[in-house]
Amino acid sequence: MLDRAVALTLDPARRADRALAAADANFQAGAFDAALGLLATAEAGPLDRWQRAQADLLRGRIAFLSGRIVDAPLLLLKAARQFGSLDLEMARETYLDTLGAALYAGRLAVGGSVREVAEAARWAPAAPEPARGPDLMLDGLALLIIEGYAAGMPGLKRALQAFRSRHISDAEGMRWLWLVCHVAIIG
């Protein structure tokens, strides 16, 4: 239905907005090629800064999940930096996505090495108090990578506790489960 709305919309700004929404829906459904096509349509129209950051985030997530993992860290890092001046929570979550993608890609990552991403994440806006599980995970992983095990593990242990608490929604827990499991193994 969203794809059809894009095709029927004449106003370029509304068409771009609808294409972005349709791209996200296709991504959620696992239709990565369709999502990329709709992203191209969205990017052809006028996008504001928020929409441009969303498009870059979506492009990075598609790369991560569609087997182009080596491209994902750089794409996600671009989105994280854009969100930095727009939305603190979104910026921090995107930095965590970026760090996870960089860890997964390892030395194969194009641009956006694990250390480079950790350095960028370290300069991300500070988390509001009380810090949420993803915020603790981001800060702990960045410290672990930059300063070593002794510096990063206390924060990562707090992150694991936060993810075991009742304050984490099921959706948030599922979203970060793979990274939480990775951290639990190294801890």
Could you give all domains of the chain from N- to C-terminal order, each with its CATH number? 1-47 (no CATH), 48-186 (1.25.40)
CB crowding 64-77: b at 16 or more within 10 Å, else e:
bebebbbbbbbbbb
Residue 91 sits at φ, ψ, to 5 deg, of -60, -45
Instruction: Please state at what angle helix 49-65 crosses helix 72-83, rounded to 10 degrees.
Output: 160
pLDDT higher than threshold 90 for residue 172: no
Q: Which amino acid is at 30?
A: G
Tokens standing for 174? 């599922």
d(CA 43, CA 87) in angstroms, rounded, equals: 21
Mean of the pLDDT values across residues 101-106? 84
Report the pLDDT value the prediction gives residue 130, as an integer from 0 to 100.
81
Q: In this predicted model, what pLDDT tens digit does every residue of 43-72 receive, in sequence order? A: 998 999 999 999 999 999 999 998 888 888
pLDDT tens-digit readout, 15-30: 888 889 999 999 999 9
Whole-model pTM: value is 0.87
pLDDT at residue 11, as a whole number: 76
Q: What is the pLDDT of residue 56?
A: 96
Q: Answer with the residue of higher pLDDT: 168 or 151.
A: 151
pLDDT category of residue 110 using cuts at 50, 70 and 90: low
Most confident of 11-20, 139-148, 177-186: 139-148
The predicted model gives 84-93 an average pLDDT of: 90
Q: Calculate the alpha carbon distances from 54 to 33, 62, 110 in Å.
A: 17, 12, 21
Report how far residue 45's alpha carbon sits from residue 43's, in angstroms, rounded to the nearest whole number.
Answer: 5
Are 58 and 89 in contact by the 8 Å Cβ rule? The answer is no
Contact 109, 102 (CB under 8 A): yes
Residue of 119, 106, 25, 36 whose CA lies nearest to 73? 106
Among candidate residues 87, 66, 83, 63, the one with its CA nearest the CA of residue 74? 63
pLDDT of 9-18, one tens digit each? Answer: 777 888 888 8
Residue 75 has pLDDT above 80, yes or no: yes
* pLDDT(125) > 90: no
pLDDT at 109: 65
pLDDT given for residue 112 in this prediction: 63
